[in-house]
A and B are shown apart, each in its own frame.
Chain A
Amino acid sequence: MPTTSHFLLMVLYAFLVSLVFAVLLRDKPLEQLKTGGMMFGGFVGVAYVLGWLMFPFPL
């Protein structure tokens, strides 16, 4: 049975999308690392903050 950890799946998704975008947009490895890291941090950070902001609201 696949994992049901939403956080883990979100982190995995953010990592793969950031990786592909960073490699597409930048040519030098160092720049790719920087862009990918910023993108990954942005994805996870924004999702984490939005998750907590939605916490008080019932479905």
Chain B
Amino acid sequence: MGSKSTTAERPRAAAEPGRLAVVTVLAWLIPGAGHLLQGRRQKGLIFLVALPLMFTLGLWLEGRLFPLELSDPLVFLGALANRGIGAPYIIARFMDAGSGTVTAASYEYGNTFLMTAGLLNFLVILDAFDVALGRK
């Protein structure tokens, strides 16, 4: 059981649907932005640094950003995980990064870093959503 901090104990009014949508979209687009927007500075800043760093390391390790291909379920799931990171993914696509080098020794590591960054950001989005709802 996790103990609550002073910020968690503070009663919060449940957010309106519009604000909930803004928090959720911003949390996806910029990792940590959902927390920063709600005054959770320490958490927001750590997510803002750690997740894009993880994604960048994945690109540096010559990992691949997978296409959304329904014909191959594993590639499709990998593609969904990749897209979880938001803006860094969009920027990488614009820069033509993430083509992946299958023969590189670090290729699988790169894929793991890229997908994990996206999946962790999904958890961060859910946490920001809970904070906005007043559950945390």
Interface residues, chain A, with chain B CB atoms under 8 Å away:
2-4, 6, 9, 12-13, 16-17, 19-21, 23-29, 31
Contacts and interface: CB of A to CB of B under 8 A. Distances in A.
Interface residues of B, number: 30
Nearest to B117: A16
B5 A28 contact: yes
Task: Give me the 4 closest cross-chain CB pairs, A-B, nearest first.
Answer: A27-B5, A4-B105, A2-B106, A2-B61
Contacts of B53: 16
Contacts of A20: 46-47, 50-51, 120, 123-124
A37 to B, nearest CB: 15
Contact of B2 (A9, A17, A25): A25
Contacts of B47: 20, 23
Majority SS at the chain A contact face? helix
A29 B50 CA distance: 16
Interface stretch (B19-27, B72-80, B84-92, B108-116): B108-116
Contact of B50 (A4, A19, A27): A19
Given A2-B62, A27-B2, A29-B42, A16 B54 contact: yes
A15 B46 CA distance: 13
A2 B101 CA distance: 12
A23 B116 contact: no
11 contacts: A2-B110, A13-B113, A20-B47, A20-B120, A23-B43, A23-B46, A23-B47, A24-B127, A26-B2, A27-B3, A29-B42
